[in-house]
């Protein structure tokens, strides 16, 4: 069974075929390419069109929210493509605050609505300033409404508290873990991981960011996902095969089941 890479960004200038082949040789056979604005969502769609095992998500990263206050229609337009299996990324980033909070919340709400209308899961990004939980709290209240309306989602690159993980899991959330799990100082993330049942864990690299140990300092790549799998398994006290099977099954459950539902309502 192949590992499912549930979150990476394909950078301009990279060769899609080489990227896909190097990932597959490392045992990473399913690739979900994430968009964060119009250009990268179109690029993600193109990446997905080149292989049967590649998919994409169309969305607006909280950093870019302020640019799309007038019109987010490209997201629903791209989501018509059969390979689009999620809306995202979307969410709140109060660490950088590249877009003001009001714009971030406005776009986040609209994208959650779009995900509901389209019957697709949402890929969520949440980041706070160190020691704060405002972004998680604001996101949590929006997500509880979304989940109450039947929406399903993953909080990618989970870095919140154990208590927050428990609230999100209570809404049916999946939590995405990446190279941060291999960082010596990330004890809080490993605690959250311990509180996350195996049937809610998704694996991701978040390429080109967050390169896992022992490759820190190098350019990240989906081919490094086995190192994250290893760290997650060690932290959970589970075998690597168990975590591999569970996380791949989880990804198919979250992304494929929703897509099937979407197709049946549009046929
Ligand atoms: Zn991302």
Q: Ligand 1 centre and the CA of 171: distance in Å?
A: 22
Q: Ligand 1 centre and the CA of 209: distance in Å?
A: 8
CA-to-CA dists, residue 132 to 76, 94, 159, 188, angstroms: 33, 9, 12, 14
Q: Ligand 1 centre and the CA of 115: distance in Å?
A: 17
Beta strands, E only, the chain: 3-8, 28-34, 54-58, 84-93, 122-127, 153-155, 174-177, 201-203
pLDDT tens, residue by residue, 150-180: 999 999 999 999 999 999 999 999 999 999 9
Q: Ligand 1 centre and the CA of 92: distance in Å?
A: 12
Q: Ligand 1 centre and the CA of 178: distance in Å?
A: 11
Give mean pLDDT, residues 72-86.
96
CA 254/CA 236 separation, integer angstroms: 21
- Residue 51: DSSP 8-state: -
CA-to-CA dists, residue 63 to 100, 127, 212, 219, 261, angstroms: 9, 11, 24, 22, 31
Q: Is the pLDDT of residue 29 over 60?
A: yes
Q: Ligand 1 centre and the CA of 233: distance in Å?
A: 23
pLDDT tens, residue by residue, 95-105: 999 999 999 99
Q: Ligand 1 centre and the CA of 33: distance in Å?
A: 9
**Reported confidence tier of residue 264, pLDDT bands at 50, 70, 90:** low
pLDDT attached to residue 1: 85
Pick one of 3.60.15.10, 3.20.20.140, 3.30.450.20, 2.60.120.260 as the CATH number of 3-266. Answer: 3.20.20.140
pLDDT tens, residue by residue, 193-223: 999 999 999 999 999 999 999 999 999 999 9
Indicate the pairing of strand 153-155 with strand 122-127.
parallel
Q: Ligand 1 centre and the CA of 196: distance in Å?
A: 20
pLDDT attached to residue 160: 93
Neighbouring CB atoms inside 10 A of 102's CB total 11
Q: Ligand 1 centre and the CA of 145: distance in Å?
A: 23
Q: Ligand 1 centre and the CA of 36: distance in Å?
A: 7
The SS3 call for residue 177 is strand
pLDDT tens, residue by residue, 224-258: 999 999 999 999 999 999 999 999 999 999 997 54
Q: Ligand 1 centre and the CA of 127: distance in Å?
A: 11
pLDDT attached to residue 234: 96
Q: Ligand 1 centre and the CA of 123: distance in Å?
A: 9
Q: Ligand 1 centre and the CA of 149: distance in Å?
A: 25
pLDDT attached to residue 240: 97
Residue-averaged pLDDT of the chain: 94
- For residue 3, report the phi and psi dihedrals to the nearest 5 degrees: -80, 145
CA 90/CA 60 separation, integer angstroms: 5
Give mean pLDDT, residues 112-141.
96
Q: Ligand 1 centre and the CA of 18: distance in Å?
A: 21
Residue 33: closest CA among 164, 98, 123, 121: 123
Q: Ligand 1 centre and the CA of 89: distance in Å?
A: 6
Q: Ligand 1 centre and the CA of 190: distance in Å?
A: 20
pLDDT attached to residue 261: 44
Percent of the chain having pLDDT more than 70? Answer: 96
Q: What is the pTM assigned to this prediction?
A: 0.94
Q: Ligand 1 centre and the CA of 267: distance in Å?
A: 31
């Amino acid at each position: 069974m192949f590992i499912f890479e549930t979150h990476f960004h394909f950078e301009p200038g990279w060769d899609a075929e080489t990227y896909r082949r190097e990932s597959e040789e490392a045992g990473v056979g399913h690739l979900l390419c994430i968009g964060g604005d119009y250009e990268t969502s179109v690029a993600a769609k193109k990446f997905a069109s080149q292989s049967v095992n590649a998919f994409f998500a169309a969305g607006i990263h909280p950093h870019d929210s302020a640019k799309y206050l007038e019109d987010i229609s490209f997201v629903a337009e791209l989501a018509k493509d059969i390979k689009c299996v999620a809306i995202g990324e979307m969410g709140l980033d109060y660490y950088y605050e590249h877009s003001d909070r009001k714009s971030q919340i406005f776009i986040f709400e609209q994208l959650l609505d779009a995900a509901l209308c389209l019957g697709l899961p949402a890929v969520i990004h949440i980041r706070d300033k160190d020691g704060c939980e405002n972004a998680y709290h604001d996101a949590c209240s929006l997500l509880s409404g979304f989940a109450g309306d039947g929406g399903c989602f993953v909080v990618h690159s989970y870095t919140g508290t154990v208590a927050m993980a428990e609230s999100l899991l209570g809404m049916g959330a999946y939590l995405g873990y990446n190279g941060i799990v291999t960082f010596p100082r990330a004890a809080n993330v490993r605690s959250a991981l311990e509180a996350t049942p195996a049937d809610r864990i998704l694996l991701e690299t978040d390429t080109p960011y967050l390169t896992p140990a022992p490759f820190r300092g190098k350019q990240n790549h989906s081919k490094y996902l086995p190192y994250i799998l290893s760290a997650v398994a060690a932290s959970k006290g589970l075998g690597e095969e168990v975590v591999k099977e569970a996380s791949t099954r989880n990804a198919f459950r979250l992304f494929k089941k929703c897509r099937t539902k979407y197709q049946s309502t549009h046929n």
